[in-house]
Amino acid sequence: MTGDLDPFKIFLELQLGLPRNGPGSAASTARAFAMLPGLREDARILDIGCGQGASTFELLRLTRGHVTAVDLFEPFLDKLAARAERARIGEDRLTIKRGDMAALPFHDGEFDLVWSEGAIYLVGFETGLRLWRRLVKPGGFVAVTECTWLTDAPAAEAMAFWNDAYPGMGTVAENGAAAERAGYEIIGTFTLPQEDWWAEYYTSMRVRIAEMRATYGAAAESVLAAEEAEIALIENNPGQYSYVFYVMRRGD
């Protein structure tokens, strides 16, 4: 080995080996979806930061509508496309598109519902909600998950980690106020259960970390150790923060 490998390549390889790329579950997607009052059966849905399609395929199962899945990185979209092909889901139900969530190539009001799990933090909660508002019809819906403080007084260790990793992280009340400022009404929120961190995410990530450490050794260590620190943080600070689903209506 000659020095460190490209950290982003290591991160991608780690993430591509996981069933999903952030905390969540089919049950939580379905629970949020059930909170939408009067969504049309043939809804047009946009899944932003779809990754390999954890929520995309669940949305296709929950509706008879059309889902457009968008992500910035081709390797995720390739995996999503392969899965769609295996499931025989055609273009009548699914469009896969590469795009940047900060500059999405869609018309105003093109969608009945915008969905995004574990991705809005990449532009920031309020900024993302402001950017995406125009994409839904007046009265349309936006549902996102966002890592959220569950306490007003976090432990020093958790605060230090998140002040560095995501300084914009808010409480449910702060994010609710941000959503209102951005032009939405909150229909409801719920905290994802602890098992949503583990079953399809951190448990698999630990296995991948061990495999990749065996393959790459010290050259990948900085990325792998950072992921391990993130996993240890939630073990040491249960109940201080979690992902929260925010289900909203565009207010007009």
Footprint of ligand SAH on this chain (CB under 6 A)?
20-22, 24, 49-51, 54-55, 71-73, 76, 100-102, 117-119, 122
Q: How is residue 238 annotated by DSSP?
A: T
Nearer to ligand SAH, 50 or 182 (CB): 50
Residue whose C-beta lies closest to ligand SAH = 51
Closest CA to 192 of 121, 252, 246: 246
Nearer to ligand SAH, 57 or 161 (CB): 57
Q: Residue 14: helix, strand or coil by DSSP?
A: helix
CB 217 → ligand SAH: shortest distance, Å?
Answer: 26
Closest CA to 172 of 161, 180, 163: 180
CB 72 → ligand SAH: shortest distance, Å?
Answer: 4
For strands 44-48 and 184-191, give the pairing. Answer: unpaired
Nearer to ligand SAH, 30 or 155 (CB): 30
Nearer to ligand SAH, 81 or 177 (CB): 81
CB 146 → ligand SAH: shortest distance, Å?
Answer: 12
Q: Residue 121: helix, strand or coil by DSSP?
A: helix
Q: How is residue 92 annotated by DSSP?
A: T
Nearer to ligand SAH, 50 or 224 (CB): 50
CB 13 → ligand SAH: shortest distance, Å?
Answer: 13
CB 119 → ligand SAH: shortest distance, Å?
Answer: 4
d(CA 189, CA 35): 9
Name the E strands within 109-197. Answer: 111-116, 136-149, 184-191
